Amino acid sequence: MFKLSVGAVFLLSLSACEDRAQIDALNNQVRVLESAQNKAKEDLARVQLQMRTLQKERETIKEEKEKLQQQLDEAKQNLDDVKGEFQTYKQQYKLSIRERAPGMSLGNLEIAGREYRNVKIRELSEVQIAVMHDAGTASFAVADLPENIQGMLAIEKVPTATEASQGIRKNGVDSRLDYDREMTRLTIAMESVQGDINSMRQQMTEHIRASTDANASSEQKLVHQKALAALQVKLNLKEVDLQQLQKQQVSLNRSR
């Protein structure tokens, strides 16, 4: 029988010990790596869960935002509709009052410290009113009327040019739109009033021609003379309106 020497046995034993040590070391590394891998999986699963939760929250927030935006849009549309209906009603009421104003009784009024008794409207425009009263006739700015009378006659308070310019300086860029709107309003209003003035002057020319026609009867001449006098009152009011609008436009431009 072959026998190993003591040295050979020692070497073999040493080699076996070294292999076990390496194996144990490798096993330890494997366990460490497996533990790290498991932890990484757990971390990944936790992160994925958080991401899914956040995604659901984002989707929920998005849905809520869309619902709120829809409600806001609907509320704005409803408000715009109501405002539109109100403006239409105001305009209809305003036109109705303008048509019914001549002859309307205002009772006794105190304007600029003076009392007018049994006042009746002769003519009403946007900025001027002509009246009859016990002592004669008078005309003054509608802004001088008592507030309750202004409300009854659908007189709208229009910001002065100074107020508009102060708003522009105070609010900056946004109020530039206010300036543009006010300037556009004044321009359109002046064109409308000027058109009325031109039309009235043309009618007055025709009435003057007819009232001086040698072939016309006295009754016909009287009719034209009365119409001419009525047109003159309206023309005077329209010219005052135009002057007021022109002053507002000049003041608005100067105060920029």
Report the alpha-carbon distance of residue 5 to residue 23 in Å, rounded: 27
Please choose, from the candidates 90, 147, 98, 96, the residue with its C-alpha nearest in 3D space to the C-alpha of residue 121.
98
- Residue tagged 């704005």 (tokens): 76
Of the candidates 198, 192, 188, 185, the one whose C-alpha atom is nearest the C-alpha of residue 231 is 198
Beta strands at 114-124 and 105-111: parallel, antiparallel or unpaired: antiparallel
pLDDT, residue 173, reads 41
- Distance between CA atoms of 3 and 195, rounded to whole angstroms? 137
Task: State the pLDDT at residue 178.
Answer: 67
Exposure letters 91-103 (e unless 16+ CB within 10 A, then b): eeeeeebeeebee
Phi, psi of 117 (to 5 degrees): -105, 145
Q: How far apart are CA 95 and CA 151, in angstroms?
A: 14
Alpha carbon separation from 254 to 161, 165, 185 (Å, rounded): 9, 9, 17
**Contact yes or no for 231/203 (Cβ under 8 A):** yes
Percentages (nearest 5) of helix, strand, coil residues in the chain = 75, 10, 15
Q: Can you give the pLDDT at residue 76? A: 82
In angstroms, rounded to a whole number, what is the distance separating the alpha carbons of residues 230 and 207?
Answer: 11
Q: What is the pLDDT of residue 193?
A: 83
SS3 28: helix
Partners of residue 132 on adjacent β-strands:
120, 137
What pLDDT, on a 0 to 100 scale, did the predictor assign at position 61?
Answer: 83
Match 């659901």 to its residue by tokens: 56
Tens-binned pLDDT, residue by residue, of the chain (256 aa): 445 455 554 455 555 555 666 767 777 777 878 887 888 788 888 888 888 888 888 888 888 888 888 888 888 888 788 777 877 777 787 778 878 888 989 899 988 888 999 999 998 887 888 899 999 998 888 888 888 888 888 887 655 445 545 554 444 444 555 677 777 778 888 888 888 888 888 989 988 988 888 888 888 888 888 888 888 888 888 888 888 888 888 887 776 6
Give the span between the Cα atoms of 5 and 195, in whole angstroms: 135
In sequence order, what are the beta bridge partners of 133?
136
Provide the pLDDT for residue 40: 79
d(CA 183, CA 255): 12
